[in-house]
Amino acid sequence: MINRLIDPDQGSISINGTAITSIDEIILRKNIGYVIQQIGLFPHMTVRENIGLVPKIEGWSHDRIEERVKELLTLVHLPPEIFMDRYPKELSGGQQQRIGLARALVMDPPLLLMDEPFGALDPLLRRQLQDEFIGIKEDIGRTIVFVTHDINEAFRLGDRIAIMHEGRIVQVGTARDLILSPADPMVAGLVGSDHLYRHLENLTVQDIMRPVSRVCLLQASTSISSAIVLMTDGGEEVAVISDGSSLSGVVWISDLLRGGRLSGTVGSYARSPPILRPDGTALSAISGMKADGDSIALVMNGEELLGIFTPDEVLRRLV
Amino acid sequence: MIDEIQTVWIRYNLTERTIEHLQIFTIALLLAITIGVATGLFLYRRRRYSPPVFSTLNAVQTFPDIALLILLIPLAGIGTVPTIIACVLYSILPIARNTYTGLISVGPELLEVGRAMGLVERDILMKIRFPLAFPMIAGGIRIAIVFTMGIVTLGGIFGAGGLGAPLQTGINLMRPDIIFVAGIWVGLLAVILDGIAGGIEAELKRRFGSW
């Protein structure tokens, strides 16, 4: 509908504020790359001719077309000298879809529509093309509207995800928005909000940490006895110790109790935990901590404490 | 045996007759291709006309060729012209039908992609539909070749010249040797031409076939 192959019955679509119905459809389409699941390479044309069809109609010179085709084939990781003159039937499904993508990019369109481009591929190949696609997406820096039925594909590839249901956009947001605050039960069911543990890869450390507002903070000079009282009253197992304005580590209540001393300050029991970046994935954070045998990590943005990350907290948040 | 064939061949000018035959054949076939492809294209553009036009062409096809030649006598007399007309009338159907079918049976995903690329209908027709219809059209032409071969021969009996003429002579003179030589030769010629057309069709299929 965005490229006006179908005109909407109701509502309107605008690109950068211009209603698409006010743009000549041929011009509109030439500015929108289009990739579909069935790929639709023209069987009677070589790879070069398939990619170069629109440039040829636009009157590009032979050399310019050839150069552009080579450039695009390199972009999609197919050596031009091998693939330029092949016919589509001489290519595998994955290669064909890469050519499909190269063809869509030939006029360097500001917008790219991809309609389930990886839907017909086997899971391994799909995964591989998704990885390549993430790279290509960065390379070309274009707006891409990517349609998929696979929510995990959306999470992996999408920066912003719009959920459509019965012809309406139900919710637009990042993976985090959709998982943690689904707009309605349908979205919750779709993204699996009640099975958050499945989303460790899609969620960041920041999403499931315990934020600093709910963290027990103690000065290093606090006496052990008052720390035990404070932590027990607050039901805290662990507290973050700061020394003046800088953080000096964390202290576990079990350490304090085991130490058996009531005099002295908590500073002497401080341990220095690993530091996590807020935008790392929860999965890599947990596996890193598991590998190092850590049971707590501080989430820091530069010098600023954002929260703490503990497996307990993760479990509580996810289940 | 060879001597007898040679005698008949020379005595009844079979070389000239063959050339004459192939001339009529070529003119008829080229006309049939032009009209047939144009008809197919026209029907593709105006699809609602296709049922009546194809019914009419089918009706022409069911008409016995000899009856058609006789019917053409009051209109075009006898000789080369009515023969060519008859050939064309018979050959339009397979060519037009295959052109039409070839043009409309292009994969919908190819048309979708073509349109989405910003191709106008003309480009889609010339760069996508037609090339992909080539093998189909060639198949239609191949059928037309066989029809035309037969009718040109028949036309010879009605004064059109070509290889039908010595056959007629053989029948009149009750000379099986002439009928035999000319008949076998016409048959061979048809097989050769069909073979060539088949080769071209296979090549087109390889080059333009969908998969």
- Chains A and B form CB pairs within 8 A to the count of 54
- Give the separation between CA A247 and CA A245, rounded to whole angstroms: 7
Which residues of A are less than 8 Å from B123 in CB distance? 57
Average pLDDT over all residues of chain B: 88
Segment A95-124 shows an average pLDDT of 87
Q: Residues of chain A with pLDDT > 90: what percent?
A: 2
Q: Residues of chain B with pLDDT > 70: what percent?
A: 99
> A206-318 — its CATH code?
3.10.580.10
Q: How many helices (H) and strands (E) does chain B have?
A: 10, 0
Q: Do B113 and A3 touch (CB under 8 A)?
A: no
Q: Do B117 and A36 touch (CB under 8 A)?
A: no
- Predicted confidence at residue B30, as pLDDT, reads 95
Nearest alpha carbon to residue A217 among A245, A190, A177, A192: A245
| A14-193 to CATH, choices 3.50.50.60, 3.40.50.300, 3.30.565.10, 3.40.50.620 | 3.40.50.300
Smallest Cβ–Cβ distance between A26 and the set B118, B207, B211 belongs to: B118
Q: For A249-296, what is each residue's pLDDT tens digit?
A: 888 888 888 877 777 788 778 888 888 888 888 888 888 888 888 888
Q: For A152-197, what is each residue's pLDDT tens digit?
A: 888 888 888 888 888 888 888 888 788 878 888 888 888 776 677 7
**Domain ranges for chain B:** 2-208
Q: Do B117 and A29 touch (CB under 8 A)?
A: yes
Segment B39-46 shows an average pLDDT of 92
Alpha carbon A272 to its chain centroid, in Å, reads 31
Is residue B149 within 8 Å of B90, Cβ to Cβ? no
Distance from CA of A279 to the nearest CA of B (A): 38
Burial, A62: exposed, middle or buried (Cβ in 10 Å; 0-12, 13-18, 19+)? Answer: exposed
Residue A85 clears pLDDT 70, i.e. is over it: yes
- Predicted confidence at residue B35, as pLDDT, reads 95
Distance from CA of A127 to the nearest CA of B (A): 24
Segment A212-238 shows an average pLDDT of 82
- Predicted confidence at residue A265, as pLDDT, reads 81
Q: Do A57 and B128 touch (CB under 8 A)?
A: no
Angle at A173 between CA A169 and CA A176, to 5 degrees: 135
Q: Do B119 and A54 touch (CB under 8 A)?
A: yes
Smallest Cβ–Cβ distance between A5 and the set B115, B131, B132 belongs to: B115
- Give the separation between CA A297 and CA A277, rounded to whole angstroms: 10
What lies within 8 Å, CB to CB, of A261 at 6+ separation is A224
Nearest alpha carbon to residue B28 among B130, B160, B134, B139: B160
Which residues of A are less than 8 Å from B118 in CB distance? 26-30, 54
Angle at A31 between CA A30 and CA A36, to 5 degrees: 75
- Written as one letter, the residue type at A248 is S
- Written as one letter, the residue type at A229 is V
Is residue B182 within 8 Å of B14, Cβ to Cβ? yes
Residue B210 clears pLDDT 60, i.e. is over it: no
- Give the separation between CA A295 and CA A288, rounded to whole angstroms: 11
Segment A130-143 shows an average pLDDT of 85
Hey, is B111 helix, strand or coil?
A: helix
Among A10-19, A38-47, A242-251, B33-42, top mean pLDDT goes to B33-42
- Predicted confidence at residue A193, as pLDDT, reads 67
Residue of B nearest to A88 (CA): B211
Extract the tokens encoding A151.
């929510």
- Predicted confidence at residue B211, as pLDDT, reads 45
- Give the separation between CA A113 and CA A314, rounded to whole angstroms: 37
Greatest C-alpha distance within chain A: 87
- Tell me how long chain A is: 319
Extract the tokens encoding B210.
């969908």
**Domain ranges for chain A:** 14-193, 206-318
Using beta carbons and an 8 Å cutoff, which residues of A are at the interface with B? Answer: 3, 5, 26-30, 32, 34, 36, 38-40, 42-44, 53-54, 57, 89, 103, 113
Segment A14-21 shows an average pLDDT of 80
Residue B143 clears pLDDT 60, i.e. is over it: yes
Residue B31 clears pLDDT 90, i.e. is over it: yes
Q: Do B132 and A32 touch (CB under 8 A)?
A: no
Which residues of B are less than 8 Å from A5 in CB distance? 112, 115-116
Smallest Cβ–Cβ distance between A38 and the set B109, B117, B128 belongs to: B109
Q: For B145-191, what is each residue's pLDDT tens digit?
A: 988 998 998 888 887 788 888 888 888 888 888 888 888 999 999 99
Considering just the CA atoms, what is the radius of gyration of chain B in Å?
A: 20
Greatest C-alpha distance within chain B: 69
Distance from CA of A3 to the nearest CA of B (A): 7
- Predicted confidence at residue A270, as pLDDT, reads 80
Q: How many CB atoms lie within 10 A of CB A17?
A: 5
Is residue B83 within 8 Å of B158, Cβ to Cβ? yes
Q: What are phi and psi of A108, to 5 degrees?
A: 50, 55
Residue A104 clears pLDDT 50, i.e. is over it: yes
ipTM of the complex, rounded to two decimals: 0.75
Q: What are phi and psi of A271, to 5 degrees?
A: -115, 150
Segment B114-143 shows an average pLDDT of 90
User: Does domain B2-208 sit in CATH 1.10.3720.10?
Assistant: yes
